Structure 1
Amino acid sequence: MKRLRTLAKQSEAGFTLIELLVVIVIAGVLAGIAAPSWFAFSNRQRAIAVRSDVIQAVKTAQQDAIQLRQARQVEVVSTATNPTLRIGSLDFSTGTAVFNGREQVLGGEANKTGQITVTAYRALPNGTRDTTVNSIAFNHQGLPTDRNRLPFVVTISGGPGTIQQCVIVANLLGSLKTANNTECDNPRVGLN
């Protein structure tokens, strides 16, 4: 008799199918709520990493121009799947850049997803963009070689729901500024 009571108590232990389904549904709802926030967060972090890499690449080009006493050019490769810059020497006699295959993929391994896009343009005085300009060159003093390309803006977009980041070569001294959203669209706002 004791044995039958023990077996009866053991069979009552555990979870019912309904209880398991309720837990699974609740977990699914919570995951559905959290997933968009997580994707936006990860895209924002990728865009910030790319922005940091753009700043570093432009500063390095300026420093190399000074140290090597040779003009250096930074070009945004808009046709690449992942955010990419080309950095090379500028030949003033022909006006062309020599890149020697030196391309830098931005943002590290986390950005190999193709979700981050990088574009470059020159901001015109009337507020429009000259998208034919995708590069900036620095002379042997680390200063931009062509004042007509200023302000030069590199925008970093991380997909839907993320803040647009940008790096601006702002003036004839080659100073760099960072901005977000509307300041990227109108870079003259932050130049004063």
Structure 2
Amino acid sequence: MVKMNVKILNSAKSTIIKNAAKNLSEKSLKQKEAGYSLTELTLIVLILGIIAAIATPGWLAFTNNQRLRTSTDRIYQAMFAARRNAMRDKTAWQASFQETTNIIGQPVIRYALHKPAIVPDDLPTSSWKYLEVGIEIDDNETNDKGKYETTLRIVKPDTNTVTTNKTDPIYRALFNYKGCPVYKPTNQCTQTSIQAKGRIAIKHQNQDKPKRCVIISTLLGVVRTGKDHAKALDGKYCH
């Protein structure tokens, strides 16, 4: 009799466990089919928002720096090409750089290669090419050494003559027929000066640093790129 009762109890226990397991399985399946609860969805959105808030500034800095590097390379190529053209054609060539805005008001630098006999205002629209959007010339104020990071000569767009007026300026890198940086197109290499070398520094409109620069570093017209440094060299931090 006792053995029979134990057998009945064990059978009942087994049935209860099976039914409970079945109910849990069905409940879990229904939850999966129903999707996430409102609390779970809120938590997921919150986590994604936190991740985005952390990642966005870093991503923006990365893309801005990439635009800066690309623009620096284009300026370098423009100066190099102007010097090469001058030596090829045995006559002076210049690279002209001007800040402007695009159709939605974003700052952008345009540049053109041309002979100095053609003033910038007379260049056809197709002659101008553009750097990356958001890149601007660093020429508004001096650094803590009292020096401007951009020192290329400024010329008037309607006459291509040197001026100190920074209203709608055009910065010019001028090379004579031997590839030397000069003040006037007809100057010989022996008539050049240290001031004729010059440099142009650029930065992104949303970041004061880092800066990049392209430098005419010798009186023979050697062109190179530079970047920000903690210590100044000849009063310039971009070198």
Q: Same fold (TM over 0.5)?
A: yes
Matched residue, 2:83 = 62
TM-score, normalised with respect to structure 1: 0.76
**1:139-164 CA-partner distances (Å, limit 9, x unpaired):** 11111112264341111202326411
One-letter code aligned to 1:100: L
Matched residue, 2:15 = none
Give SS of 1:144's match.
coil
Matched, 1:84 2:123: no
1:188 CA drift (Å)? 9.0
Mapped to 2, the partners of 1:15 and 1:188 lie a distance apart of 55
**1:107-141 CA-partner distances (Å, limit 9, x unpaired):** xxxx3xx31113569x9xx8533676221210111
Alignment check: 8 A CA contact 1:74 1:135 kept: yes
Specify whether residues 9 and 41 from structure 1 end up closer, same or farther in structure 2 by C-alpha distance, changes over 3 A only: closer
1:7 CA drift (Å)? 5.8
Mapped to 1, the partners of 2:221 and 2:44 lie a distance apart of 58
Give SS of 1:145's match.
coil
1:170 CA drift (Å)? 1.7
Matched residue, 2:190 = none
Q: Which of 49, 52, 55 is matched with 1:28 structurally? A: 49
**Runs of 5+ consecutive residues of structure 2 not aligned to the other structure:** 1-18, 102-106, 155-170, 184-192
Alignment check: 8 A CA contact 2:180 2:219 kept: yes
Matched, 1:186 2:186: no
**Runs of 5+ consecutive residues of structure 1 not aligned to the other structure:** none
Give SS of 1:21's match.
helix
Matched residue, 1:104 = 129
Q: Which of 173, 182, 188 is matched with 1:136 structurally? A: 173
Q: Quote the RMSD (CA, aligned, Å).
A: 3.2
Specify whether residues 141 and 100 from structure 1 end up closer, same or farther in structure 2 by C-alpha distance, changes over 3 A only: same
Alignment check: 8 A CA contact 1:166 1:184 kept: no
TM-score, normalised with respect to structure 2: 0.62
- Identical amino acids, percent of aligned pairs: 22
Matched residue, 2:212 = 165
Query: Larger Cα Rg: Structure 1 or Structure 2?
Result: 2
Specify whether residues 188 and 117 from structure 1 end up closer, same or farther in structure 2 by C-alpha distance, changes over 3 A only: closer
Q: Aligned residues, how many?
A: 175
Specify whether residues 43 and 73 from structure 1 end up closer, same or farther in structure 2 by C-alpha distance, changes over 3 A only: same
Mapped to 2, the partners of 1:11 and 1:35 lie a distance apart of 38
One-letter code aligned to 1:138: F
Q: Which of 150, 157, 161 is matched with 2:196 structurally? A: 150
Mapped to 1, the partners of 2:238 and 2:108 lie a distance apart of 30
| 32-41 or 133-142, which deviates more | 133-142
One-letter code aligned to 1:88: H
Matched residue, 1:18 = 39
Mapped to 1, the partners of 2:227 and 2:78 lie a distance apart of 19
Matched, 1:43 2:64: yes
Mapped to 2, the partners of 1:140 and 1:128 lie a distance apart of 31
